Amino acid sequence: MCSIPGRTSSAQSCSMPYIRTLKLRPRIWMTFLVMAPLMPWAVLTETVVQLLMQDLDPEKMKLFSRDNCASVEIATKKSGIADLIPGTMIDDYLFDPCGYSMNGLLRNGQYFTIHITPEPQFSYCSFETNIPKESYHSLIMKVLDIFKPKKFLVTLFANEGSVANVKHIECEDFSALTNYRQVDHQFCQLKNYNLTYTMFKSAATNTWLASDPPH
């Protein structure tokens, strides 16, 4: 257990780090869970899904460079991000000389966000959403179809009130429905929450390089 510097609270909140070591490479993935006493009327319905992708499609990555794309609107539209989740209000930005970031907000306050490092030597993209779904298969497939990563990590973080809380097994079975091979899967039960992370790599990728940059 560790404290957050400069943080004080009458509810005596604290953060608890859970350290997960991924296979095949010297990398540590750390999760912090902030704990606080619940009020009697509080009903938790929280879900967070992440895809952390590496070695992305080099042709698609050209869209996220000022040298190849005239505007952020074109990058968002041509990449397919604009149509990923219909009805989303999008705030996006194309960096100079390259790089991309967007936040999408739905009317009910749910969100999704994407951040891209497009350089071919270490291309990387993160996708995150708190939209609760009974199945994430279709959404995950759409994201993978846009970026076509050679390797990616899926995390599902859901509490007891979320409709997604029973879908952790879907992450384990996901590789049977794609051209990716599962290389690691872990499930962790925390207080009021379940956490799953599953690592995949393309069936055509033979190695997970230890020299890959951490994210």
Q: What is the mean pLDDT of the chain?
A: 76
Q: Please say if the pLDDT value at position 19 is more than 60.
A: no
- Residue 97: is the preceding peptide bond cis (ω within 30°)? yes
> Which range has the top average pLDDT, 8-22, 49-63, 159-173, 186-200?
49-63
Q: What is the mean pLDDT of residues 14-42?
A: 53
Q: What is the mean pLDDT of residues 158-187?
A: 65
Q: Please say if the pLDDT value at position 167 is more than 60.
A: no
| Class of domain 45-202 as given by CATH | alpha beta
Q: What is the mean pLDDT of residues 6-29?
A: 48
The predicted pLDDT at position 186 comes to 79
Long-range CB contacts (within 8 A, 24+) of 26-33? 26/210, 27/214, 29/153, 29/197, 31/157, 31/195, 33/190, 33/191, 33/193
Domain ranges of the chain: 45-202
Q: Please say if the pLDDT value at position 180 is more than 90.
A: no
The answer for residues whose C-beta is within 8 angstroms of residue 49's C-beta and 6 or more apart is: 128, 129, 130, 131, 136, 139, 154, 155, 156, 157, 164
Q: How far apart are CA 175 and CA 137, in angstroms?
A: 11
Q: Between 107 and 34, whose confidence is greater?
A: 107
The predicted pLDDT at position 156 comes to 85
Whole-model pTM: value is 0.77
pLDDT digits (tens, 9 = 90+) for 32-85: 655 555 544 445 567 889 999 999 999 999 999 999 998 999 999 999 999 999
Q: Between 204 and 125, whose confidence is greater?
A: 125
3-state secondary structure of 8: coil
Q: What is the mean pLDDT of residues 2-21?
A: 43
3-state secondary structure of 150: coil
Two tokens at 55? 């070695």
